[in-house]
Amino acid sequence: MNRSVLVTGGNRGLGLTIARTFADAGDRVAVTHRGSGAPAGLLGVKCDVTDGEQVRTAIAEVKDAHGPVEVLVSNAGITDDALLMRMREDQFTRVIDTNLTGAYRVARATVTDMVRLRRGRMIFVSSASGVKGLAGQANYAASKAGLIGLARSLAHELASREITANVIAPGLLDTELTGALNDDQREKLLADVPIGRTARLEEVAATALWLASARAAVVTGQVISVDGGGSLGH
């Protein structure tokens, strides 16, 4: 593969694993960051997805360096947890603006070139919280659930142009944070996960790579949960 790929929030964590997976497959990969730069082998473009002008500038930089974006992985996101009775309105709106409206901004900035090319892949990284909800995450869960409606609407709009839009909903991930949990904490978190373990970042990245491949050309408007069965029934 040798496509122009953009991963928002791709300079660390899950986003970085996704970016490296595409790069290892031969794609030209750019990642957004908010000032920390990008690891070697990836094109870094400074961009805060809450700023429409920064988004447009970043997309233009990617286009100049790698060509029009053919695969968009909208991954940038934040959390700001609190129970509803303690959640300030700015906590709610800031998370929505970053996670949901930010995804709209990058999709809007890349869709015109995809339509002209008559091909493209949009992949939105949601969360198990967006599928089944989670106490203390009303803002985060709402933003991640919104990505499902966004993707499914775009699937209807763009299918005739050979552009797909899908959602990946990871559950608890195998990160440094979960690695620091004691046995009791881990047991409680995994109690509702049938497979009995966290998902690996590489497993989520492999799902993104497949959704962007020719083998998934007829898969659109779908939510793929990568969570060991933790969202079964939702």
Residues annotated as catalytic (active site), given as ranges: 140
Tell me if 81 sits within 8 A of 140, measured CB to CB.
yes
CB 83 within 8 A of CB 135: yes
Which SS3 state, helix, strand or coil, does residue 77 take?
A: coil
Which residues, in sequence order, are bridge partners of residue 94?
none
Cβ proximity of 62 and 56 under 8 Å: no
CA–CA separation, 210 and 13 (whole Å): 19
Q: Quick one: tokens of 93?
A: 């709106």
Say how far apart CA 179 and CA 16 lie, in whole Å: 18
Helix (H, G, I), strand (E, B) or coil at 12: coil
What residues pair up with 31 in beta bridges, in sequence order?
7, 44
Enclosing H/E stretch for 89? helix 89-96
Take residue 25 and report the two structure tokens written for it.
Answer: 């497959």
